Amino acid sequence: MVKTIHKYIYEIRVKASDTSLIIGTIHPHRTNQFIVDFFYGNRNSLWSILSTVFQQYDFESKNSIIDVLIQNKIWITDIILECERENETVTQDKHLQNLVLNDDGIRNGINNSSITTIFFTSGFGKNNAAKLFCDTFNIKPKLNNKREFIIPKNIFGRSIKGIVLFSPSGQANIGISKNKLYLEQKEKYKSFAKPISKFKIDFYKNAFILNL
Alpha-carbon separation of residue 19 from 1, 14, 87, 89, 144 (angstroms): 38, 10, 37, 35, 22
CA–CA distance, 19 with 70 (Å, rounded to integer): 10
pLDDT at 132: 98
Which of helix, strand or coil describes residue 159?
coil
- Kindly list the domain boundaries of the chain, sorted by start residue: 2-170
- The pLDDT of residue 171 is 78
Q: Tell the burial category of 19 from Cβ atoms under 10 Å away from its Cβ (0-12, 13-18, 19+).
A: middle
pLDDT tens-place values along the chain, 212 residues long: 999 999 999 999 999 999 999 999 999 999 998 999 999 998 768 999 999 999 999 999 999 999 999 999 999 999 999 999 999 999 999 999 999 999 999 999 999 999 999 999 999 999 999 999 999 999 999 999 899 999 999 999 999 999 999 988 877 888 899 999 999 999 999 999 999 999 999 999 999 987 76
pLDDT the model gives residue 33: 86
The pLDDT of residue 173? 87
Distance CA 124, CA 18 (A): 25
User: 2-170 has which fold?
Assistant: Uracil-DNA Glycosylase, subunit E (3.40.470)
pLDDT at 210: 76
- Determine the pLDDT at residue 206: 93
Written as one letter, the residue type at 174 is I
pLDDT of the residue at 168:
84
